[in-house]
Amino acid sequence: DGSDTDIVALKNYMDAQYYGEIGIGTPPQKFTVIFDTGSSNLWVPSVKCYFSVACYVHSKYKSSLSSTYQKNGKPAEIHYGTGAISGLFSQDYVKVGDLVVKNQVFIEATREPSVTFLVGKFDGICGLGFQEISVGNVVPLWYNMISQGLVKEPVFSFWFNRNADDEEGGEIVFGGADPNHYKGNHTYVPITRKGYWQFDMGDVLIDGRSSGICSGSCAAIADSGTSLIAGPTATIAEINHAIGASGIVSQECKTVVSQYGKTILTLLLSERQPKKICSQIGLCAFDGTRGVSIGIESIVTENDGSAVGWGDSMCSACEMAVVWIQSQLKQNQTQERILSYVNELCDRLPSPMGESAVDCSRLSSMPSVSFTIGGKVFSLKAEQYILKVGDGPATQCISGFTALDVPPPRGPLWILGDVFMGAYHTVFDYGNMRVGFAQAA
């Protein structure tokens, strides 16, 4: 429903790099699809798609060629943040590896207007999420695999090969996990919100130090359909600062630091409730649990007499400053150093869902970024969270982190995409409603 929009909007199929082959119909018509744990529908382009260029450059399903096709005909539409598809529901056999899933309802897409689907090397998407987020409440392919007794164990697992030199891209295993592709035991955490493969995650550490925002707890989703790791802007700005990634300069952020930085520090030192500080200094209202924007446009006059306006972003900037200052205080930094550091962080704020470039020659000096899951620390080295684009002297390095802000109670939320799942072999255990991570091999 509408409340899920923020999360679906994250899906960045443009960068999703791992895809496999399935067959639909009898005889099977082949399609390349992304196996996506962040959605729950299966869709492929339809031969009845006439007005979208994307359909002309991808394989298309033709029901008349299939002896097992059954008409459904209900209209369907899925809105992703990076595009939308629409079409009709149909029903047919779906071949996944050696498995044949009978009577699977899927979407024949007749419109794919987004450039995302035009440029994508994949034809469609195979959702491996829960039925709760399935458009049209369609029974997902994975559910039918289980109910039709095709797999012994209700478990599937992902291995992404992050070695760019290898031809093999990775492997999805239905029915269990391949011991050749992980080391040691998996650490399992329970699913906390059925729909997505969502679980509770602890602190995020930068070079072993707490970044603050998840020191209580954060929600996280294991999402094979997203390339990068997405998390709260405040933490991504800290990571950007630590790895030297470029950011956008936020005037609101700098204003909060210069005008209210000392006050925030004083209030934190006097052990006021951190969540109430921004409302106490008048930048946010307080809704009982956290600061919320007061929705007032403020106008200040610059020295040259020009008027500068700012809006609700002052509240967000203040809340970030509180988290940063609090985290620095815990590290016993001096007040002067804290304010200087926080001011520097304002220069490192990431563009929402944007990419950040870093200096390739500095990889060896970049810190590890770690995620606490099930009480264990899962670290990523720079080589694991920096993506390289191009070859030789033209190589560019892109940070594997991007910003996504989901407010409480659903957030703060982290999306652990391929960058994380590449480092850690991931088991999706439907039978026990849990997700497990182990070092990938």
CB of 386 to another protein, least distance (A): 11
Q: Which of the residues 36, 92, 123, 418 is marked catalytic?
A: 36
- The DSSP code sequence of 144-212 is HHHHTT--SSSEEEEEE---TT-S--EEEEESS--GGGEEEEEEEEE-SBTTTTEEEE--EEETTEE-S
Does 353 help bind another protein (rule: CB under 8 A)? yes
Does 21 help bind another protein (rule: CB under 8 A)? yes
Does 363 help bind another protein (rule: CB under 8 A)? no
Distance CA 176, CA 181 (A): 12
- Residue 50 main-chain phi, psi, to 5 deg: -110, -30
Does 347 help bind another protein (rule: CB under 8 A)? no
Sign of CA dihedral 267, 273, 275, 278: negative
Identified binder of another protein from the candidate list 171, 200, 312, 405, rule CB under 8 A: 171
98 is catalytic: no
Q: Which of the residues 92, 123, 223, 429 is marked catalytic?
A: 223
Distance CA 10, CA 1 (A): 15
Does 242 help bind another protein (rule: CB under 8 A)? no
Q: Quote the distance between the C-alpha of residue 273 and its chain's center.
A: 30
Give the residue from 160, 239, 207 showing the smallest Cα distance to 400.
239
Alpha helices in 270-417 (DSSP H): 277-280, 313-330, 335-346, 382-385
Does 408 help bind another protein (rule: CB under 8 A)? no
Q: Which is nearer to another protein, 114 or 279 (CB)?
A: 114
Identified binder of another protein from the candidate list 173, 285, 294, 377, rule CB under 8 A: 173
Q: Which two tokens mark 434?
A: 């849990």
Does 411 help bind another protein (rule: CB under 8 A)? no
36 is catalytic: yes
Does 216 help bind another protein (rule: CB under 8 A)? no
Q: Quote the distance between the C-alpha of residue 27 and its chain's center.
A: 36
**What residues between 59 and 118 interact with another protein by CB under 8 A?**
74-79, 81-83, 86, 96-99, 114-116, 118
Contact predicate 96/174, CB 8 Å: yes
Q: Which stretch binds another protein (CB under 8 A): 201-209, 262-270, 387-395, 403-411?
A: 387-395
Q: Which residues sit at the interface with another protein, rule CB under 8 A?
A: 1-2, 4-5, 8-9, 12, 14-15, 17-21, 32, 35, 74-79, 81-83, 86, 96-99, 114-116, 118-121, 135-136, 150-153, 160-161, 164, 168-178, 227, 352-355, 387-390, 398
What are the residue numbers of the active site? 36, 223
